[in-house]
Amino acid sequence: MTYARIIGTGSYLPAKVVTNDDLAESMETSDEWIRERTGIHRRHVASDDETTATIGLYAAQNAIEAAGIEVDEIDLILVATTTPDKVFPATATIIQRRLGIAGCGAFDLQAACSGFVYGLDVADRYIRSGGARTAVVIGAETLSRITNWEDRTTAVLFGDGAGAVVLQASEEPGIVAAHIHADGKQEELLHVPQGISQGYDQTRAGEAYIQMNGNAVFRKAVATLDSIARETLAGHGVEKEQLDWFVPHQANLRIITAAAKKLGMPMERVVVTVDEHANTSSASIPLALDIAVRDGRIQRGELLLLEAFGAGFTWGSALLYY
């Protein structure tokens, strides 16, 4: 049986760090409030000359180096992002060019914070069906560009960053299954109201930023993460005790803790990195994965449950042997 197996992980965080205290200098908030309500200590913000393609490229190069492959072995590049460099071409083709390769399929995928899990699902299906042997899946975001830095209800929550994995066809177990879902009925609970196809309307300039009903999103995220975890484990005959690591979307420590509690996962087996980089949307899971691989927490052969929830709403999971 052929599996899509992660053979390398990588990540990149911009050098500029904005602490909670830094934010408190320009808006009515405090380090204490942010830590208590979100678990976030700091976030990284892209410099003026860094874009999603720049930071996505660094994460991809990092993963490719860890995988020990040559770039010309890559035959699929997927970039999950809500903040592409341009309307077109895709950020994936910009990264492809900067990697110095051409010819393989490369496209962007937009599923908000669930984008990386969606990307894993697509790449897994390509690899298992023989359509690709080696795929790079990148989650990269410059959310600072769609954050209203005067709105304390959202500005404290988000950050910039990128993570990536190299997947390769293998006889050794890798991705067991990925599941993706969406329900567009509650679009306005979490969205950026302005968009390309609506036409650029200067009178609505303030709507070019993230808007969110935090309480409603919180409740929905916890309930959905719990149901997808149960669905995934039951669907594959896996007991939660068999999981070595739970790697959730890093939105907010309270959401992660509540989801882990409902699932009955002790926090020692939950990867938490949101304190270091805040919510980086589609980059958050590959970032958390790479950090835990590099610091030695996640070991080869261990069983991982990845879970995401985001705007749309979209949600998804991946059960995999690392």
Residues found in the chain: 322
Among 109, 154, 47, 116, CA closest to 287: 116
Nearer to ligand ACO, 120 or 217 (CB): 217
Q: Are 282 and 80 in contact, with CB atoms under 8 Å apart?
A: yes
Which one is catalytic: 20, 62, 181, 249?
249
Q: Are 189 and 220 in contact, with CB atoms under 8 Å apart?
A: yes
Distance CA(170)–CA(153), nearest Å, equals 45
| 138 CB-near residues (< 8 Å, 6+ apart) | 56, 59, 60, 77, 78, 79, 80, 92, 95, 119, 162, 163, 164, 286
Nearer to ligand ACO, 138 or 222 (CB): 222
Residue 200: exposed, middle, or buried by beta-carbon count in 10 A (0-12, 13-18, 19+)? exposed
- Degrees (nearest 5) of the Cα angle 267, 272, 276? 145
Which one is catalytic: 44, 62, 113, 277?
113
**Smallest distance from the beta carbon of 29 to ligand ACO, in angstroms?**
3
Q: What share of the chain is helix, strand, coil (3-state, %, to 5)?
A: 45, 25, 30
**Smallest distance from the beta carbon of 208 to ligand ACO, in angstroms?**
17
Query: Active site includes 279?
Result: yes
Binding site for ligand ACO (CB under 6 A): 29, 33, 37-38, 113, 152-153, 156-157, 190, 212, 214-215, 217-218, 221, 249, 251-252, 254-255, 279, 309-310
Hunting for tokens 């950090």 — which residue is that? 291
**Smallest distance from the beta carbon of 41 to ligand ACO, in angstroms?**
14
Nearer to ligand ACO, 218 or 321 (CB): 218
Which one is catalytic: 20, 62, 252, 279?
279
**Smallest distance from the beta carbon of 316 to ligand ACO, in angstroms?**
12
Query: Active site includes 113?
Result: yes
**Smallest distance from the beta carbon of 34 to ligand ACO, in angstroms?**
6
SS3 for 74?
coil
Residues taking part in catalysis: 113, 249, 279
